[in-house]
Structure 1
Protein backbone atom coordinates (compact mmCIF):
# COMPACT_ATOMS: atom_id res chain seq x y z
CA UNK A 1 0.00 0.00 0.00
CA UNK A 2 1.33 3.47 -0.81
CA UNK A 3 1.10 6.66 1.19
CA UNK A 4 -1.61 7.87 -1.19
CA UNK A 5 -3.83 4.93 -0.27
CA UNK A 6 -3.48 5.31 3.46
CA UNK A 7 -0.32 3.59 4.68
CA UNK A 8 1.52 6.80 5.40
CA UNK A 9 4.80 6.50 7.25
CA UNK A 10 4.62 8.87 10.19
CA UNK A 11 6.86 10.03 13.03
CA UNK A 12 5.31 11.68 16.11
CA UNK A 13 7.66 13.08 18.75
CA UNK A 14 6.52 13.32 22.34
CA UNK A 15 3.81 10.92 21.30
CA UNK A 16 2.81 9.04 24.44
CA UNK A 17 0.79 11.76 26.22
CA UNK A 18 -1.67 14.53 25.50
CA UNK A 19 -1.80 15.93 21.98
CA UNK A 20 1.00 13.64 20.80
CA UNK A 21 -0.79 10.51 21.96
CA UNK A 22 -4.10 11.59 20.42
CA UNK A 23 -2.26 12.37 17.17
CA UNK A 24 -0.51 9.00 17.07
CA UNK A 25 -3.82 7.21 17.64
CA UNK A 26 -5.55 9.29 14.95
CA UNK A 27 -2.88 8.41 12.41
CA UNK A 28 -3.12 4.76 13.45
CA UNK A 29 -6.86 4.78 12.82
CA UNK A 30 -6.19 6.20 9.34
CA UNK A 31 -4.01 3.20 8.54
CA UNK A 32 -0.59 4.82 8.99
CA UNK A 33 2.62 3.12 10.05
CA UNK A 34 4.23 4.85 13.01
CA UNK A 35 7.43 5.62 14.84
CA UNK A 36 6.63 7.37 18.11
CA UNK A 37 9.25 8.89 20.39
CA UNK A 38 9.04 9.39 24.13
CA UNK A 39 11.29 10.59 26.93
CA UNK A 40 11.06 8.93 30.31
CA UNK A 41 7.54 7.65 30.98
CA UNK A 42 7.80 3.98 30.18
CA UNK A 43 4.31 3.23 31.50
CA UNK A 44 2.70 5.72 29.11
CA UNK A 45 4.70 4.17 26.26
CA UNK A 46 3.56 0.70 27.29
CA UNK A 47 -0.13 1.62 27.33
CA UNK A 48 0.16 3.44 24.00
CA UNK A 49 1.85 0.42 22.44
CA UNK A 50 -1.05 -1.72 23.60
CA UNK A 51 -3.60 0.71 22.12
CA UNK A 52 -1.77 0.84 18.81
CA UNK A 53 -1.53 -2.94 18.72
CA UNK A 54 -5.27 -3.14 19.37
CA UNK A 55 -5.81 -0.94 16.32
CA UNK A 56 -3.67 -3.27 14.20
CA UNK A 57 -1.11 -0.51 13.70
CA UNK A 58 2.46 -1.29 12.72
CA UNK A 59 4.35 0.89 15.21
CA UNK A 60 7.68 1.27 16.93
CA UNK A 61 8.21 3.28 20.10
CA UNK A 62 11.63 4.85 20.55
CA UNK A 63 12.96 6.29 23.80
CA UNK A 64 15.28 9.23 23.11
CA UNK A 65 16.25 12.61 24.50
CA UNK A 66 15.42 14.80 21.53
CA UNK A 67 16.92 17.90 23.11
CA UNK A 68 20.30 16.41 22.15
CA UNK A 69 21.77 15.66 18.76
CA UNK A 70 22.56 12.13 19.91
CA UNK A 71 18.91 11.52 20.71
CA UNK A 72 17.73 12.96 17.40
CA UNK A 73 20.20 10.79 15.50
CA UNK A 74 19.06 7.72 17.43
CA UNK A 75 15.51 8.46 16.34
CA UNK A 76 16.68 8.92 12.75
CA UNK A 77 18.36 5.51 12.82
CA UNK A 78 15.15 3.91 14.06
CA UNK A 79 13.16 5.64 11.31
CA UNK A 80 15.61 4.50 8.63
CA UNK A 81 15.43 0.97 9.96
CA UNK A 82 11.65 1.00 9.93
CA UNK A 83 10.87 2.95 6.73
CA UNK A 84 14.12 3.03 4.74
CA UNK A 85 15.88 6.08 3.31
CA UNK A 86 13.50 8.66 1.89
CA UNK A 87 10.60 6.70 3.28
CA UNK A 88 9.05 9.23 5.64
CA UNK A 89 5.77 10.87 4.65
CA UNK A 90 4.91 12.86 7.79
CA UNK A 91 6.92 14.29 10.68
CA UNK A 92 4.97 15.74 13.61
CA UNK A 93 7.24 17.76 15.90
CA UNK A 94 5.08 17.65 19.02
CA UNK A 95 7.61 17.37 21.84
CA UNK A 96 7.24 20.22 24.28
CA UNK A 97 7.04 21.31 27.91
CA UNK A 98 5.23 24.12 29.69
CA UNK A 99 6.83 26.71 31.94
CA UNK A 100 5.48 29.16 34.52
CA UNK A 101 7.95 31.58 36.08
CA UNK A 102 7.94 35.35 36.69
CA UNK A 103 10.46 36.93 34.35
CA UNK A 104 12.43 38.43 37.25
CA UNK A 105 12.91 34.91 38.64
CA UNK A 106 13.63 33.21 35.32
CA UNK A 107 17.06 31.57 35.46
CA UNK A 108 19.26 30.08 32.77
CA UNK A 109 18.37 26.49 33.64
CA UNK A 110 14.61 27.03 33.26
CA UNK A 111 15.09 29.11 30.09
CA UNK A 112 17.17 26.36 28.48
CA UNK A 113 14.82 23.58 29.62
CA UNK A 114 11.84 25.16 27.87
CA UNK A 115 13.70 26.36 24.76
CA UNK A 116 15.49 23.04 24.34
CA UNK A 117 12.28 21.01 24.47
CA UNK A 118 10.02 23.34 22.52
CA UNK A 119 12.35 24.77 19.87
CA UNK A 120 15.74 23.07 19.75
CA UNK A 121 14.19 19.61 19.55
CA UNK A 122 12.28 20.58 16.39
CA UNK A 123 15.51 21.83 14.81
CA UNK A 124 17.49 18.73 15.77
CA UNK A 125 14.83 16.19 14.77
CA UNK A 126 13.91 17.83 11.48
CA UNK A 127 17.55 18.17 10.49
CA UNK A 128 18.30 14.56 11.45
CA UNK A 129 15.33 13.35 9.38
CA UNK A 130 15.89 15.52 6.30
CA UNK A 131 17.24 12.57 4.36
CA UNK A 132 14.29 10.42 5.39
CA UNK A 133 11.66 12.91 4.18
CA UNK A 134 10.43 11.85 0.78
CA UNK A 135 9.47 14.31 -1.95
CA UNK A 136 6.01 15.59 -1.13
CA UNK A 137 6.36 14.88 2.58
CA UNK A 138 4.77 17.02 5.27
CA UNK A 139 6.26 18.47 8.47
CA UNK A 140 3.73 19.61 11.07
CA UNK A 141 5.05 21.52 14.07
CA UNK A 142 2.92 21.81 17.19
CA UNK A 143 3.24 25.25 18.70
CA UNK A 144 0.85 27.30 20.82
CA UNK A 145 -1.52 30.16 20.09
CA UNK A 146 -0.02 32.06 23.03
CA UNK A 147 3.02 32.63 20.80
CA UNK A 148 0.97 35.22 18.92
CA UNK A 149 -0.23 37.02 22.07
CA UNK A 150 2.30 36.38 24.85
CA UNK A 151 1.59 35.15 28.36
CA UNK A 152 2.63 36.69 31.67
CA UNK A 153 4.83 34.39 33.77
CA UNK A 154 5.60 32.51 30.59
CA UNK A 155 8.04 34.69 28.66
CA UNK A 156 10.30 31.71 27.96
CA UNK A 157 7.37 29.52 26.92
CA UNK A 158 5.90 32.21 24.67
CA UNK A 159 9.31 32.88 23.12
CA UNK A 160 9.94 29.19 22.45
CA UNK A 161 6.60 28.78 20.67
CA UNK A 162 6.96 32.05 18.76
CA UNK A 163 10.30 30.81 17.45
CA UNK A 164 8.50 27.85 15.89
CA UNK A 165 6.42 30.24 13.77
CA UNK A 166 9.55 31.68 12.15
CA UNK A 167 11.12 28.22 11.94
CA UNK A 168 8.04 26.97 10.09
CA UNK A 169 7.79 29.82 7.62
CA UNK A 170 11.49 29.83 6.76
CA UNK A 171 11.82 26.06 6.44
CA UNK A 172 8.72 25.94 4.23
CA UNK A 173 10.49 28.22 1.74
CA UNK A 174 13.70 26.20 1.88
CA UNK A 175 12.09 22.77 1.45
CA UNK A 176 9.37 23.90 -0.96
CA UNK A 177 11.38 23.08 -4.10
CA UNK A 178 11.35 19.43 -2.97
CA UNK A 179 7.60 19.56 -2.56
CA UNK A 180 8.02 19.18 1.21
CA UNK A 181 5.44 21.25 3.09
CA UNK A 182 6.01 22.69 6.57
CA UNK A 183 3.14 24.00 8.68
CA UNK A 184 2.28 24.81 12.28
CA UNK A 185 -0.70 23.98 14.46
CA UNK A 186 -1.11 26.37 17.40
CA UNK A 187 -3.42 25.01 20.11
CA UNK A 188 -4.88 27.17 22.84
CA UNK A 189 -5.25 26.01 26.43
CA UNK A 190 -5.69 22.26 26.13
CA UNK A 191 -6.64 19.78 28.84
CA UNK A 192 -3.98 17.26 27.93
CA UNK A 193 -4.44 14.90 30.90
CA UNK A 194 -7.52 13.83 32.91
CA UNK A 195 -6.28 15.77 35.95
CA UNK A 196 -4.14 18.26 34.05
CA UNK A 197 -4.73 21.83 33.02
CA UNK A 198 -5.12 25.01 35.05
CA UNK A 199 -6.93 25.11 38.43
CA UNK A 200 -10.71 25.10 38.13
CA UNK A 201 -11.29 28.84 38.70
CA UNK A 202 -8.61 29.71 36.16
CA UNK A 203 -9.98 27.15 33.70
CA UNK A 204 -13.46 28.65 33.99
CA UNK A 205 -12.11 32.14 33.34
CA UNK A 206 -10.14 31.01 30.30
CA UNK A 207 -13.07 29.03 28.92
CA UNK A 208 -15.25 32.13 29.20
CA UNK A 209 -12.77 34.02 27.03
CA UNK A 210 -13.18 31.57 24.15
CA UNK A 211 -15.84 31.97 21.48
CA UNK A 212 -16.87 28.34 22.01
CA UNK A 213 -17.07 28.59 25.79
CA UNK A 214 -14.75 25.70 26.60
CA UNK A 215 -11.13 24.68 26.74
CA UNK A 216 -9.59 22.35 24.20
CA UNK A 217 -8.99 18.64 24.28
CA UNK A 218 -6.18 16.76 22.50
CA UNK A 219 -8.66 15.36 19.99
CA UNK A 220 -9.53 18.91 18.92
CA UNK A 221 -5.98 19.26 17.58
CA UNK A 222 -5.68 16.01 15.67
CA UNK A 223 -8.04 17.02 12.85
CA UNK A 224 -5.94 20.04 11.82
CA UNK A 225 -2.75 17.97 12.11
CA UNK A 226 -4.11 15.24 9.84
CA UNK A 227 -5.44 17.86 7.42
CA UNK A 228 -2.03 19.52 7.10
CA UNK A 229 -0.39 16.13 6.69
CA UNK A 230 -2.75 15.01 3.95
CA UNK A 231 -3.41 15.57 0.27
CA UNK A 232 -6.23 18.04 0.96
CA UNK A 233 -3.54 20.49 2.10
CA UNK A 234 -1.28 19.90 -0.90
CA UNK A 235 -1.01 23.66 -1.58
CA UNK A 236 -0.75 24.73 2.06
CA UNK A 237 2.70 25.48 3.43
CA UNK A 238 4.33 27.95 5.78
CA UNK A 239 1.07 28.63 7.56
CA UNK A 240 -0.16 28.57 11.16
CA UNK A 241 -3.56 27.17 12.07
CA UNK A 242 -4.80 28.35 15.46
CA UNK A 243 -6.84 25.74 17.33
CA UNK A 244 -7.86 27.76 20.35
CA UNK A 245 -11.66 27.97 20.36
CA UNK A 246 -11.55 31.61 19.32
CA UNK A 247 -9.88 32.98 22.44
Structure 2
Protein backbone atom coordinates (compact mmCIF):
# COMPACT_ATOMS: atom_id res chain seq x y z
CA UNK A 1 0.00 0.00 0.00
CA UNK A 2 1.14 3.56 -0.74
CA UNK A 3 2.39 5.64 2.17
CA UNK A 4 2.34 8.92 0.22
CA UNK A 5 -0.40 11.45 0.85
CA UNK A 6 -2.77 11.99 -2.09
CA UNK A 7 -4.83 15.06 -2.97
CA UNK A 8 -7.83 15.31 -5.29
CA UNK A 9 -7.95 18.75 -6.89
CA UNK A 10 -10.96 19.62 -9.02
CA UNK A 11 -10.35 22.03 -11.88
CA UNK A 12 -6.62 21.35 -11.84
CA UNK A 13 -5.73 21.85 -15.49
CA UNK A 14 -5.22 25.62 -15.39
CA UNK A 15 -5.21 28.76 -13.27
CA UNK A 16 -5.64 28.39 -9.54
CA UNK A 17 -6.14 24.63 -9.64
CA UNK A 18 -2.98 24.08 -11.66
CA UNK A 19 -0.93 26.08 -9.19
CA UNK A 20 -2.52 24.24 -6.25
CA UNK A 21 -1.64 20.89 -7.83
CA UNK A 22 1.97 21.93 -8.41
CA UNK A 23 2.38 23.40 -4.92
CA UNK A 24 0.99 20.19 -3.40
CA UNK A 25 3.47 18.15 -5.42
CA UNK A 26 6.28 20.38 -4.19
CA UNK A 27 5.16 19.44 -0.65
CA UNK A 28 5.63 15.77 -1.56
CA UNK A 29 1.94 15.05 -2.13
CA UNK A 30 0.65 12.95 -5.05
CA UNK A 31 -2.23 14.41 -7.05
CA UNK A 32 -5.40 13.39 -8.82
CA UNK A 33 -6.54 16.41 -10.79
CA UNK A 34 -9.69 16.93 -12.81
CA UNK A 35 -10.38 18.85 -15.98
CA UNK A 36 -13.61 19.69 -17.78
CA UNK A 37 -12.45 20.11 -21.38
CA UNK A 38 -8.76 21.01 -21.24
CA UNK A 39 -7.33 17.50 -21.59
CA UNK A 40 -4.04 18.61 -23.16
CA UNK A 41 -3.48 21.20 -20.45
CA UNK A 42 -4.25 18.60 -17.78
CA UNK A 43 -1.70 16.25 -19.30
CA UNK A 44 0.88 19.03 -19.13
CA UNK A 45 0.18 19.50 -15.42
CA UNK A 46 0.53 15.75 -14.84
CA UNK A 47 3.91 15.81 -16.60
CA UNK A 48 5.04 18.76 -14.48
CA UNK A 49 4.04 16.94 -11.29
CA UNK A 50 5.88 13.82 -12.41
CA UNK A 51 8.94 15.97 -13.14
CA UNK A 52 8.83 16.94 -9.45
CA UNK A 53 9.08 13.25 -8.54
CA UNK A 54 5.43 12.77 -7.59
CA UNK A 55 2.69 10.67 -9.14
CA UNK A 56 -0.35 12.20 -10.82
CA UNK A 57 -3.46 11.30 -12.79
CA UNK A 58 -5.90 13.54 -14.68
CA UNK A 59 -9.58 12.57 -14.86
CA UNK A 60 -12.42 14.31 -16.68
CA UNK A 61 -15.15 15.80 -14.49
CA UNK A 62 -18.05 18.15 -15.07
CA UNK A 63 -18.41 19.46 -11.52
CA UNK A 64 -21.89 20.80 -12.30
CA UNK A 65 -23.31 17.48 -13.54
CA UNK A 66 -24.20 15.41 -10.48
CA UNK A 67 -25.33 12.47 -12.61
CA UNK A 68 -21.69 11.77 -13.52
CA UNK A 69 -20.31 11.68 -9.99
CA UNK A 70 -20.83 7.94 -9.50
CA UNK A 71 -18.88 7.13 -12.65
CA UNK A 72 -16.22 9.66 -11.71
CA UNK A 73 -15.57 8.10 -8.32
CA UNK A 74 -15.42 4.66 -9.89
CA UNK A 75 -12.58 6.07 -12.02
CA UNK A 76 -10.98 7.58 -8.91
CA UNK A 77 -11.09 4.17 -7.22
CA UNK A 78 -9.41 2.58 -10.23
CA UNK A 79 -6.76 5.31 -10.37
CA UNK A 80 -6.04 4.95 -6.67
CA UNK A 81 -5.42 1.25 -7.10
CA UNK A 82 -3.55 1.32 -10.41
CA UNK A 83 -1.40 4.44 -10.01
CA UNK A 84 -1.05 4.91 -6.27
CA UNK A 85 -1.44 1.39 -4.87
CA UNK A 86 -4.10 2.34 -2.34
CA UNK A 87 -7.87 2.66 -1.96
CA UNK A 88 -8.06 6.02 -0.17
CA UNK A 89 -6.91 9.61 -0.57
CA UNK A 90 -6.18 12.31 2.00
CA UNK A 91 -7.09 15.78 0.76
CA UNK A 92 -10.10 17.03 -1.19
CA UNK A 93 -9.78 20.47 -2.77
CA UNK A 94 -13.04 21.70 -4.30
CA UNK A 95 -11.72 24.29 -6.72
CA UNK A 96 -13.54 23.75 -10.04
CA UNK A 97 -15.87 26.50 -11.13
CA UNK A 98 -16.65 29.44 -13.36
CA UNK A 99 -17.55 33.02 -12.66
CA UNK A 100 -20.55 35.14 -13.61
CA UNK A 101 -20.92 38.88 -13.85
CA UNK A 102 -24.53 39.99 -14.39
CA UNK A 103 -26.75 42.59 -12.69
CA UNK A 104 -29.59 41.20 -10.56
CA UNK A 105 -32.16 42.70 -12.94
CA UNK A 106 -30.65 40.80 -15.89
CA UNK A 107 -29.65 37.46 -14.33
CA UNK A 108 -31.45 34.51 -15.90
CA UNK A 109 -32.63 31.38 -14.15
CA UNK A 110 -30.26 29.35 -16.33
CA UNK A 111 -27.30 31.47 -15.16
CA UNK A 112 -28.43 31.13 -11.56
CA UNK A 113 -28.75 27.35 -11.86
CA UNK A 114 -25.31 27.03 -13.48
CA UNK A 115 -23.66 28.87 -10.59
CA UNK A 116 -25.69 26.93 -8.02
CA UNK A 117 -24.83 23.57 -9.57
CA UNK A 118 -21.10 24.03 -9.95
CA UNK A 119 -20.36 26.04 -6.81
CA UNK A 120 -22.78 24.66 -4.22
CA UNK A 121 -24.80 21.62 -5.25
CA UNK A 122 -21.82 20.11 -7.04
CA UNK A 123 -19.46 20.81 -4.14
CA UNK A 124 -21.95 19.41 -1.63
CA UNK A 125 -22.60 16.12 -3.39
CA UNK A 126 -19.08 15.63 -4.75
CA UNK A 127 -17.85 15.93 -1.17
CA UNK A 128 -20.57 13.53 0.01
CA UNK A 129 -19.48 10.90 -2.51
CA UNK A 130 -15.81 11.46 -1.65
CA UNK A 131 -16.25 10.77 2.06
CA UNK A 132 -16.01 6.95 1.88
CA UNK A 133 -12.67 7.31 0.05
CA UNK A 134 -11.24 10.04 2.29
CA UNK A 135 -8.83 8.91 4.97
CA UNK A 136 -9.57 9.71 8.59
CA UNK A 137 -7.35 12.61 9.59
CA UNK A 138 -7.65 14.10 6.12
CA UNK A 139 -8.56 17.61 5.00
CA UNK A 140 -11.24 19.26 2.89
CA UNK A 141 -10.52 22.66 1.41
CA UNK A 142 -13.29 24.55 -0.36
CA UNK A 143 -12.54 27.55 -2.53
CA UNK A 144 -14.74 30.58 -1.95
CA UNK A 145 -14.28 34.23 -2.92
CA UNK A 146 -13.85 37.70 -1.50
CA UNK A 147 -17.27 38.40 -3.03
CA UNK A 148 -18.83 36.39 -0.20
CA UNK A 149 -17.60 39.12 2.19
CA UNK A 150 -17.56 42.28 0.07
CA UNK A 151 -20.32 43.10 -2.39
CA UNK A 152 -19.57 44.11 -5.97
CA UNK A 153 -22.19 45.01 -8.55
CA UNK A 154 -22.82 42.10 -10.88
CA UNK A 155 -21.66 39.31 -8.59
CA UNK A 156 -24.85 38.65 -6.59
CA UNK A 157 -25.25 35.02 -7.64
CA UNK A 158 -21.56 34.12 -7.52
CA UNK A 159 -21.10 35.76 -4.12
CA UNK A 160 -24.25 34.16 -2.73
CA UNK A 161 -23.35 30.60 -3.68
CA UNK A 162 -19.79 31.09 -2.42
CA UNK A 163 -21.22 32.31 0.87
CA UNK A 164 -23.29 29.15 1.06
CA UNK A 165 -20.15 27.06 0.52
CA UNK A 166 -18.58 28.79 3.50
CA UNK A 167 -21.52 27.81 5.71
CA UNK A 168 -21.39 24.25 4.34
CA UNK A 169 -17.70 24.07 5.23
CA UNK A 170 -18.44 24.81 8.89
CA UNK A 171 -20.97 21.99 8.93
CA UNK A 172 -18.39 19.67 7.39
CA UNK A 173 -15.97 20.59 10.18
CA UNK A 174 -18.58 19.71 12.82
CA UNK A 175 -19.81 16.46 11.31
CA UNK A 176 -16.41 15.13 10.23
CA UNK A 177 -14.59 16.12 13.41
CA UNK A 178 -15.05 12.64 14.92
CA UNK A 179 -13.06 11.28 11.97
CA UNK A 180 -10.28 13.82 12.52
CA UNK A 181 -11.05 15.48 9.19
CA UNK A 182 -10.60 19.26 9.13
CA UNK A 183 -12.53 21.44 6.68
CA UNK A 184 -11.56 24.99 5.78
CA UNK A 185 -12.24 27.66 3.18
CA UNK A 186 -9.73 29.64 1.15
CA UNK A 187 -11.28 32.79 -0.30
CA UNK A 188 -9.21 34.48 -3.02
CA UNK A 189 -9.95 37.86 -4.51
CA UNK A 190 -9.68 38.64 -8.20
CA UNK A 191 -6.98 36.38 -9.62
CA UNK A 192 -5.77 37.22 -13.10
CA UNK A 193 -4.55 34.23 -15.06
CA UNK A 194 -6.91 32.08 -13.01
CA UNK A 195 -9.25 31.38 -15.89
CA UNK A 196 -12.41 33.02 -14.54
CA UNK A 197 -11.65 36.71 -13.97
CA UNK A 198 -12.03 39.05 -16.98
CA UNK A 199 -8.59 40.53 -17.65
CA UNK A 200 -8.03 44.08 -18.82
CA UNK A 201 -5.66 46.92 -17.89
CA UNK A 202 -8.60 48.82 -16.40
CA UNK A 203 -9.71 45.87 -14.26
CA UNK A 204 -6.15 45.25 -13.03
CA UNK A 205 -5.74 48.91 -12.12
CA UNK A 206 -9.02 48.93 -10.17
CA UNK A 207 -8.18 45.75 -8.24
CA UNK A 208 -4.70 47.04 -7.40
CA UNK A 209 -6.24 50.28 -6.14
CA UNK A 210 -8.56 48.53 -3.65
CA UNK A 211 -5.89 46.06 -2.46
CA UNK A 212 -3.75 46.99 0.54
CA UNK A 213 -0.65 45.40 -0.95
CA UNK A 214 -1.15 47.50 -4.07
CA UNK A 215 -1.10 44.87 -6.79
CA UNK A 216 -3.25 42.24 -8.43
CA UNK A 217 -3.08 38.53 -7.62
CA UNK A 218 -1.75 35.68 -9.72
CA UNK A 219 -2.50 31.95 -9.29
CA UNK A 220 0.92 31.55 -7.64
CA UNK A 221 -0.32 33.64 -4.71
CA UNK A 222 -3.01 31.08 -3.79
CA UNK A 223 -1.65 27.59 -4.36
CA UNK A 224 0.84 27.71 -1.51
CA UNK A 225 -1.90 28.55 0.99
CA UNK A 226 -3.89 25.48 -0.06
CA UNK A 227 -0.76 23.33 0.14
CA UNK A 228 -0.03 24.67 3.63
CA UNK A 229 -3.49 23.62 4.80
CA UNK A 230 -2.55 20.07 3.82
CA UNK A 231 0.54 20.03 6.05
CA UNK A 232 0.82 18.88 9.64
CA UNK A 233 1.55 22.49 10.65
CA UNK A 234 -2.07 23.36 9.80
CA UNK A 235 -3.63 20.43 11.65
CA UNK A 236 -5.41 22.63 14.23
CA UNK A 237 -7.09 24.91 11.69
CA UNK A 238 -10.68 23.79 11.30
CA UNK A 239 -13.92 25.42 10.19
CA UNK A 240 -12.07 28.59 9.23
CA UNK A 241 -12.31 31.06 6.37
CA UNK A 242 -8.88 32.16 5.17
CA UNK A 243 -9.13 35.16 2.88
CA UNK A 244 -6.27 35.39 0.42
CA UNK A 245 -6.69 38.77 -1.24
CA UNK A 246 -3.67 40.85 -0.30
CA UNK A 247 -6.09 42.97 1.76
CA UNK A 248 -9.01 43.90 -0.49
CA UNK A 249 -11.48 46.54 0.72
CA UNK A 250 -10.11 46.63 4.27
Decide: shared fold, TM above 0.5: yes
8 A Cα contact 1:186 1:243, kept in partner: yes
Q: How does 1:107-126 map onto structure 2 within 5 Å?
A: 107-126=108-127
1:57 — aligned with what?
Answer: 54
| CA RMSD, Structure 1 to Structure 2 (Å) | 2.0
| 1:159 paired residue number | 160
2:36 equivalent to 1:13: no
Aligned counterpart for 1:76 among listed residues 66, 73, 83: 73
The CA distance in 2 between the partners of 1:48 and 1:234, in whole Å, is 27
CA distance in 1, matches of 2:8, 2:47: 18
**Whole-angstrom distance in 2 between the partners of 1:197 and 1:54:** 31
Counterpart secondary structure, 2:131? coil
Match of 1:144?
145
- Report the more deviating stretch, 11-20 or 148-157: 148-157
CA apart distance, 1:39:
0.5
Q: Which runs of 5+ in 1 are unaligned?
A: none
Q: Which is worse superposed, 127-136 or 45-54?
A: 45-54
With 233-242 and 187-196 compared, the bigger mean Cα shift is at 187-196
If the length of structure 1 is used for normalisation, what is the TM-score?
0.92
1:234 alignment counterpart:
235
For 2:206 and 2:197, locate their aligned partners in 1 and report how far apart those are by CA, in whole Å: 16
TM-score by length of 2: 0.91
- Confirm or deny that 1:27 pairs with 2:24: yes
Offset of 1:42 from its aligned partner?
Answer: 2.0
Separation of aligned partners in 2, 1:97 and 1:67: 10
Find the counterpart in structure 1 of residue 89 from structure 2: 88
SS at match of 2:165: helix
User: Partners of 1:23 and 1:177 in 2: how far apart?
Assistant: 27
Q: How many residues align?
A: 244
Task: State yes or no: 1:38 paired with 2:35.
Answer: yes
